[in-house]
Structure 1
C-alpha cells in the first residue's frame, strides 16, 4: 500500500524555463502529498540562450533542449503530452485538445508567447517563436539553400538582440554562400538603435560583427506587410526577399483571452510580485506569459530563469500555508550576445566588449545551466522522507495514513465511482442488454457467431492515466484482433493508489476515459468492472469479441515457404525499461508511445484479406517466444529471420547497447535455446530485441509468398509504415532448434531455396 497518499494536484501547463527550474528543484526536494503534473505539447523544450549556437551549427539539437520526460521522471512528476486550449478557474479545470479536461488544485502557466500575426502576410514568414518549432523550419530552409544554386535573399525582421543573434548565426551557418555573394542576409529594423535597448558601445560592436559576417543592416525600415516577393514598408518601398524570418515582439497565446484571468493589453496574464494571477490565488504564471503591472519587464529568458526558485517556493507555500516570496527582478545583469562565429558581445552597466573568450564564457555558462537538468537523481519510488503533515493540516487535518480495509472495504466509494462514470463518453452496443450499473452484464449473441474472450492486465507504463487507459485497452483488444474477431464488450478491473476521494475520482475518470476512447473507436462497449485500492495504478480488461467460425485465425497453420510479416517495430520493452531508470530520451519514448497507440485492427483485416495462414500478436514473450508458438503447430516447421529486415523503434538499439533491458528479458531469453546459430546475431542489438517484451506490440503473420508483397504494400498504406517481411517459414531440419538467423538475405531467395529443399 502506498504509504504517502496524494492530497493535492499541482498542474504545470507549459515546459518553459521557469517550470523546468521548478521541476529540477522539486527533484531535489519533493513535497510529500503534493502530486506534480506537467502538460506540454512537446517532449523537449528549447533553451533560448543556446538557439543561436544551434542555428550556427555549434550545438546538436539534444544539447540545446531540456528533455521534459526525463526531468519529470527525476521529479516524480506525471508528464502529459497535450495542448492546453482553455482554463476554467472556477471549476479548476484545464481543457486539453483531444482528451478529457484535467482538474487541479494549484495551476501554474509557463506557456511562453506565440508569433504576432497582426502584420499582414505574416503567415508567409518563419516565426522565431515558439522556439521548439523554429529548428524544423531552419533545417528546411538550409536544405532549400543548398538544393538550389540560384542567388537567394533572406530577411530577418526585428532588430532586437534576438534578431541580431539570429542573423549572425544564419550568416555563419551559410558562410560559404554568404561570402560568395550567392546568399544575402538582411536585418530589418523599424528604429535606429540596433540592437534595441542596448548602450551605444554595444550597438557599435554588434554593427561591426554584422558587417564582418556580411549581414546587410536596414535601419528606419518599418515593415508594413510581408508579401510573396519580400517586404513592403509603410511608405511603399519594397525589399525583395526569398524568405522572411520574424523576430519581432510576440503576443500571448490567444486562448488565454477566454480563460477568465486578468490580462494586460497584449493578452498576457497579470501577476503580482508572488507570481500569482491577479484575483486568483490558486493560479500562477511565469516566464513570457506573465505580465507585471507594477514594473513591466522585457520578454527575456534571464527573468524566466530567476523566477524559477520563487515559483517553486510559492507553489509549496500555497499548499502548506507558509509565507510566499516576492520576485525582485535584477535592474542590471550581464548580457551575452552570440555573434555567430564563436564570438560574443558582453554588456553590463553600459560597458561592452567583444571576443572569442566571451563566447567561451557564454558557452561555459549555458552548458552549466543545461547540466542542471541532466545530472539529477531519478525518482524510482515515491518514498518521501517525511509525512505530509503540512498539507494534511491545510486540508483540515484529514489524514489517509490510518489503517485501510481490505476485501470489499478497499473499493472506490460509490459517489466517487458515480462522478467518474458520469463524465465518460456515451457508449452503444447492439449486443449488450445490461451493462454498467447492474449486478452483471448481459449479452445477446447472434446466431452462428462464436464468442472470443481474452483478459490482460498492465501496470501503468506511463504517468498519464488517460494515455495508460488507451494503452491498456489496445493491449487487451490486440488478442481479439490476432484471432480476427470483432470486439463488442469489455469489463475493467482498476487498481488505484491511495489518495483523497477527489484525486481518486480524477484518476479514475481519466483512466476510464482513455480506455473508453479506444473501446469506442472499435465499437466495443465498457459493460462494467470493479475497482480497488492498491500500491500502484493498474488496469485489467476482459474483452469479448464475435467471429464467424470460418473467419478465425489462429497461431498454428503456417506452412513452409510462407513469409513472416511483422506489422510494427520492436523495442518497446527496452525503451520503457530505460525510461523507468530515467535514462530514455523523451523522443524515444514518444516514438514508442506512437507505436503502442497504433491499433492492430486494420492490420488484422489486411492479413486476413491476403490469405494469412497463421496470426499472433507480439506481446510479453517477445518476437522469438511468440514465433516459436506459431511454429509449434504439429508439423516440423522452422523459420529463417533476417536481421536487416527487423524494424526497430528509434532509440531501441541504443537502449540495448547500454544494457537497459526489461525485467522480463531474462525469462524470455530461454527461447534463445531454439536458435541453431546464435553467433550470427549475438553482437547485434537485434539479438536482445528478439526477446524484448512488447506492450501493444504488432502482429506477426505467416502469409503465402505470392501475396506477401501486396500485403506489405497494403499495410504501409494503412499506416503501418515500418511493417516488414522479416523472414520465411521453413521445414525444420533441426526440430530442437528450429530458428535460423541471417544478417542479410533476400526473402525471395530464401523461398526459392525452401522450394528446392522440398522438391529434393
Structure 2
C-alpha cells in the first residue's frame, strides 16, 4: 500500500506588502506552490487597491470592489497566511519584521512591496490639515467620505491638489467630475511649484491644460507652499488658497521607517540589483515603488511592478531551492494612460500623445483584464472518491464540501449527548457538575473552582490570530459560569515542520494567547505539544467563583441578551470555498478576537448564562430551556449578524455542522437566511444571558457604554422547552 508523505515545512517566505507584484506572486504561487515553504503576506488591511483604476473610482466610474484585490481570497488560494497589520520595522540581521499591533515575524526569505507615500512631513501643517494621495486606500476612503457628505449637504468646500504631475492632474479632474455629477458644481485647484505641469512632453502638456480647463480645474504654477493651514494652503507669497480637502500628490516619497532598517537606500528607496535582491542581502528582495533599481533607474509606475512579478516569483523560488536567479530588464518607456475625469483618456509614449473616448474604452479593458486575474481565480480541484468505497461514504461526504474548522468541525450535538448519557453517575461529592453546564464545578475547601477544556482546528493560517481567538473561545465557558479565570494549560498540535519553524510558531501562539489570558486575569502554567497533520490549538482552564451561574437558573419572563453577532460558521465556510468577501472575514475575525471579560462582569447578575458556540444559538438556548424548565421566544429581526453572513446563507452556504445542529434543536417559525443562521456553529461566540426583565435595560446600557454590541433577542416563557421565532 502506497502512503502519501506529509511534506514538512522548513522555510518561511514573507511578503511584506500587498502591492501589484506580490499579488501576482501569490496568484502564481497558488497555481504551483513550493512544498516545504510557509508563505506569509503582511498588509494593512484585507484588500489592496489597483492604482490603474483609482482615478476612475474617484470619478465614480468604478465601485470600490472593482479596484480592490481581495488579499484574503488570494491568500487562501495560495495557501498563505495573511497578517492584517502594517510593517513598521525590519531587521535584516535577525531576519525579523515587526508588525504594528501584532508583534515580530521571523523569515528565511522576504520581499518588500510596500509602495510609497505622498505625505509631506516637511511641509508644516500637512499632517493636521491634508492627506497624501498615497497610500491609495487611505486617500480613497477619505474621498468617499468627503463625497458622501457633499451629496448629503448638496454642497462641498473647495478641493486642492498639491502637485502638477500626471497623478495630481488626473486625480484633480476625477474629483471635479465626481463633484459635478453629485452636486452640479466643483471648485478644484492644482498647485505646482514649477512653472508648468511635470513628467510629460510639451504636446501632452497642452492637451492636459485644455482638459483641466474643460473640467473647471484651476491651475496655479510657480506657486510654492509655505504651510498648510486649517483654511487651506498658504503660499510663500502670503496668499491662502481656500480648501476643505487638501490632497498631497507632489511626488513619490519612501516609507519613513525604511531609514531605520540599515538597508542600502537611494534617496530613501531600497536599492536592488538586476535579480531584485537588496544589495548585500541575498535573502531579501524589493519591488515596486519602494525599490530603486540601480542597474536601470525608472520612474515610479505600476507597470514596472507588474512586469517584475514573474521574475520575482521565479527568483524567490530559486533562492528557496538553491537554484540560479535571472535578471529583470525593465522596458525603457511605458504607455501612460491618463484619465480625463469623464470616460475619456489621454495616452503618451515616447512623448507622443493620443486622446479620445476610444482610449478610455481601451484603458478600461486593460484594467478589467488585470483585475480579472484576481477575481476569477482558477478553481481548486475537488478530491474524487475512489472507485470502490464502503457503504455510506458518498452520503457522508455529501456535496464534497471540506469539513469546517473552528467550532464547525465539532461532533454533532446528538452524538455527543448520546455518548455522555452512557457515562456512570458521578460518585465524588466534591464534583458538583450539573449535566450540560459549560464547565465542571469542583469544591475545594471553601472555594468553588470551575474547570473546562476546548480546542479548535485552525481556520486561519496565522497561528497568533488563531491562538488569540481560541483563547477567547475557551474563556467563554469560564465567563459563562460567572467565574474569574485562574490557570491555563495549553495543548498544541503543529503540522510537521522543522525545529526552527516549531520554535517560531510556538512563540507566536504562546505570546498571543498569554496576552489574552493575562488580560483576563489568568496565567499559562504549562501544557503539551505534538506534531500532527494540521494546526490545532486547545486550552484547559480553571476559574474561581463563590456562586456559579448555571444554565438551570432561568425564569419565565427573563429577557435574553446576546453579546455578539451570529454567522461566523457560515462566513468561515464561505472563506474556505473562496466565496467570502475579505473585508467581511477580517472584520469578523477582529470581533472574535476581542475579550468578553467586561461583558461577563456586567452580566454577573444573570439568572442563567452560556456562550454560543458549536451548537449555534438554537442549540445553546435549548440547553438553557431544558435545564430551566422553560420555553423561549426569539425576535429574529432583533438579532445581529456578521457582515456578509445573511447573503452567504441566502446563497446556500452552510457549515458542515449545520445539519446536525438543525436536527438536534428544531425551531418553530424559523425561515429564510436568518432562520438558518440560528443553527450556525459559532466560534468565540457571544454570551447568552437570561436576566430579570426589570434589570435588562440597565444591563444593556452598561454593555453599550462598554462598546459591547449586545442586543435583546427575546425572552423565556412558561411551558415546554420549545423555541418560537417571531
Alignment match of 1:241 (pick from 227, 232, 243): 243
What corresponds to 1:8 in structure 2?
11
SS of 2:241's equivalent?
A: strand
Is it true that 1:639 corresponds to 2:632 in the alignment?
A: yes
CA separation of 1:380 and 1:494: change in aligned 2, threshold 3 A: farther
**CA–CA separation in structure 2 for the residues paired with 1:445 and 1:260:** 59
Deviation string, structure 1 residues 662-685 (Cα, Å, up to 9, x no partner): 111111011353x23x3xx42x21
What corresponds to 2:280 in structure 1?
279
Is it true that 1:537 corresponds to 2:530 in the alignment?
A: no
Within 5 Å, give how 1:334-345 maps onto structure 2: 334-345=335-346
CA separation of 1:178 and 1:211: change in aligned 2, threshold 3 A: farther
Q: TM-score, normalised by structure 2?
A: 0.88
What corresponds to 1:729 in structure 2?
716
SS of 1:244's equivalent?
A: strand
**CA–CA separation in structure 2 for the residues paired with 1:52 and 1:236:** 32
How far residue 704 of structure 1 moved from its aligned partner, in angstroms, is 1.2
Alignment match of 1:572 (pick from 568, 571, 577): 568
What corresponds to 2:80 in structure 1?
77
CA contact (8 A) 2:495 2:535 kept: yes
SS of 2:14's equivalent?
A: strand
Is it true that 1:121 corresponds to 2:125 in the alignment?
A: yes
SS of 1:729's equivalent?
A: strand
**CA–CA separation in structure 2 for the residues paired with 1:151 and 1:65:** 27
Alignment match of 2:58 (pick from 52, 55, 59): 55
How far residue 150 of structure 1 moved from its aligned partner, in angstroms, is 6.5
What corresponds to 1:659 in structure 2?
652
CA contact (8 A) 1:270 1:293 kept: yes
Alignment gaps of 5+ in structure 1:
384-443, 743-760
What corresponds to 1:688 in structure 2?
676
SS of 2:292's equivalent?
A: strand
What corresponds to 2:300 in structure 1?
299
Alignment match of 2:695 (pick from 692, 699, 707): 707
What corresponds to 1:512 in structure 2?
510
**CA–CA separation in structure 1 for the residues paired with 2:217 and 2:660:** 62
**CA–CA separation in structure 2 for the residues paired with 1:156 and 1:670:** 61
What corresponds to 2:588 in structure 1?
592
**CA–CA separation in structure 2 for the residues paired with 1:134 and 1:625:** 45
What corresponds to 2:643 in structure 1?
650
What corresponds to 2:545 in structure 1?
547
**CA–CA separation in structure 1 for the residues paired with 2:468 and 2:381:** 24
Alignment match of 1:450 (pick from 448, 455, 461): 448
Deviation string, structure 1 residues 83-106 (Cα, Å, up to 9, x no partner): 222111111111222333111100
Deviation string, structure 1 residues 419-454 (Cα, Å, up to 9, x no partner): xxxxxxxxxxxxxxxxxxxxxxxxx99852111000
**CA–CA separation in structure 1 for the residues paired with 2:182 and 2:686:** 47
**CA–CA separation in structure 2 for the residues paired with 1:516 and 1:214:** 58
What corresponds to 1:230 in structure 2?
232
**CA–CA separation in structure 2 for the residues paired with 1:381 and 1:177:** 47
**CA–CA separation in structure 1 for the residues paired with 2:383 and 2:122:** 48
What corresponds to 1:160 in structure 2?
165
What corresponds to 2:469 in structure 1?
471
Alignment match of 1:19 (pick from 17, 22, 46): 22
CA contact (8 A) 1:307 1:327 kept: yes
**CA–CA separation in structure 1 for the residues paired with 2:529 and 2:30:** 31
SS of 2:538's equivalent?
A: strand
SS of 1:101's equivalent?
A: strand
Deviation string, structure 1 residues 383-426 (Cα, Å, up to 9, x no partner): 9xxxxxxxxxxxxxxxxxxxxxxxxxxxxxxxxxxxxxxxxxxx
What corresponds to 2:610 in structure 1?
616
What corresponds to 1:745 in structure 2?
none
Q: How many residues align?
A: 664
Q: TM-score, normalised by structure 1?
A: 0.85
Alignment gaps of 5+ in structure 2:
385-441
Alignment match of 2:174 (pick from 169, 174, 189): 169
CA separation of 1:512 and 1:659: change in aligned 2, threshold 3 A: same
Within 5 Å, give how 1:37-116 maps onto structure 2: 37-114=40-117, 115-116=119-120
SS of 1:708's equivalent?
A: helix
CA contact (8 A) 1:558 1:613 kept: yes
What corresponds to 2:356 in structure 1?
355
CA separation of 1:303 and 1:193: change in aligned 2, threshold 3 A: farther
CA separation of 1:353 and 1:178: change in aligned 2, threshold 3 A: farther
SS of 1:174's equivalent?
A: helix
CA contact (8 A) 1:638 1:729 kept: yes
Alignment match of 2:722 (pick from 738, 742, 746): 738
CA separation of 1:378 and 1:471: change in aligned 2, threshold 3 A: farther
SS of 1:107's equivalent?
A: strand
**CA–CA separation in structure 2 for the residues paired with 1:507 and 1:372:** 32
**CA–CA separation in structure 2 for the residues paired with 1:486 and 1:322:** 56
What corresponds to 1:426 in structure 2?
none
Deviation string, structure 1 residues 529-587 (Cα, Å, up to 9, x no partner): 11111000101111011111x3x101112111111111100011001111111211111
Moved more, 26-35 or 532-541: 26-35
Alignment match of 1:253 (pick from 229, 252, 255): 255
CA separation of 1:706 and 1:151: change in aligned 2, threshold 3 A: closer
What corresponds to 2:320 in structure 1?
319
